[in-house]
Amino acid sequence: QVQLVESGGGLVQAGGSLRLACGASGRSFSGYTMGWFRQAPGKEREFVASVTWSADYTYYADSVKGRFTISRDNAKNTVYLQMNSLKPEDTAVYYCAATPYSGRVTNEQLYPNWGQGTQITVSS
């Protein structure tokens, strides 16, 4: 009944930009923190960024800080991830997720709602 759907993935050259979007249906996720995670081949899923309900706080992994920007439009029930200066090491499946917890929530086990993921491939 609850569904998170990512879009905007694809193939891009190093140094390029992409914007991911995650739309929610089935419920509004009012008050929820929204996050982005990624999983590269052969590696565990890792935290990328998160934004609180009122967007008063954003958090980023050190590996993407200064390059990625997370934002949300609650009227559209959508969260975005703007990715600039992409590197080959950014290649991964990117997932959006929602959690009722507030603050800096980086543990994937605290996120009960997940999208199916979208592939980002950054070529050299």
Q: pLDDT, tens digit, for every residue of 30-63?
A: 889 999 999 999 999 999 999 999 999 999 999 9
Confidence band (pLDDT; 50, 70, 90) for 103? confident
Tell me what the pLDDT averaged over the chain comes to: 94
Share of the chain above pLDDT 70, in %: 97
Instruction: Please determine, for residue 123, whether its predicted confidence score (pLDDT) is greater than 60.
Output: yes
Average pLDDT over residues 109-121: 96
Which tops the pLDDT comparison, 8 or 3? Answer: 8
Selection from 124, 85, 115 nearest residue 97 by Cα: 115
Q: Which of 123, 118, 106 is nearest to 19 (CA)?
A: 118
Cα angle 110, 113, 117 (rounded to 5 degrees) comes to 110
| pLDDT (average), residues 105-111 | 95
